[in-house]
Amino acid sequence: MEFVLDTADISAIKEYDELLNLAGVTTNPTIITKSGKKPEEVIKELVDYLRLDQKLFIQSVSTDFDGIMEEARYICGLRPENTYVKIPVTREGLKAIKAAKAEGLNVLATAIYSADEAFLAALNGADYLAPYVNRMCNYGDGVGQTIDLINMLAAQGVESKVIAASFKSVEQVHELIAAGIQAVTVQPDVVKQMVDHPGTEIAVDEFTENWNKAYGRKTLR
Ligand code: E4P
């Protein structure tokens, strides 16, 4: 199971890369604009920082077939391996996913709002499918649709992996991991909530306090 960080913030990437086993990083155009830096600069930071066994996912910005294909080739050529173009599942995007796979590029189908559009992208060969779990909740049950998608792929023997995205709560991540999802991409604020449970801090403070009271020190020896 792959745990991916959904950010272009290099300091957050370094922080969680030290703490966790990160399988890679996803970005989208909005995430990159939030850095306040030029896109080329952000992309270079990501390429320079990530190990080659960590996956890098960068989204195309053009919305027409030729533009998406040109950007897909550029993105996938940024590193020798494990670099994926994220292509939104519009009509032009679906066409581009099919063509990009025919060229042997690594593709993540993104901006997915239903299990059905994800399934069509899977039939076009997308390596990963990114349902926007929280955004899907505006139209129904985002978690439920994503579980349907996992089941549809398994029932039909289609090999695309689901990388659920757009989480706004730990509960959403939890439910999909429990359902057997292959990958999640989670924003640093939600990862922080998973990592920093207040109960753990309280428990450790209590151990230290009791030890200190009994032995007059805060270390084992
Ligand atoms: C993945 O990289 C998606 O683009 C991202 O999770 C979308 O998140 P948002 O719904 O918070 O914009």
pLDDT given for residue 216 in this prediction:
98
Nearest-angstrom CA–CA distance, 15 and 6 = 13
Pocket test for ligand 1, best of 89, 166, 172 (most atoms within 8 A of CB): 166
What pTM, to 2 d.p., does this model score?
0.96
Q: Would you give the end-to-end CA distance of the chain in angstroms? A: 39
pLDDT tens-digit readout, 140-198: 999 999 999 999 999 999 999 999 999 999 999 999 999 999 999 999 999 999 999 99
86 assigned to active site: yes
Residue nearest to atom 12 of ligand 1 (CA): 166
Mean pLDDT by 10 residues, the chain (221 residues): 98 98 98 96 98 98 98 98 98 98 98 98 98 96 97 98 98 98 98 97 98 98 97
Q: At what angle do helices 39-49 and 10-19 cross, to 10 degrees?
A: 20
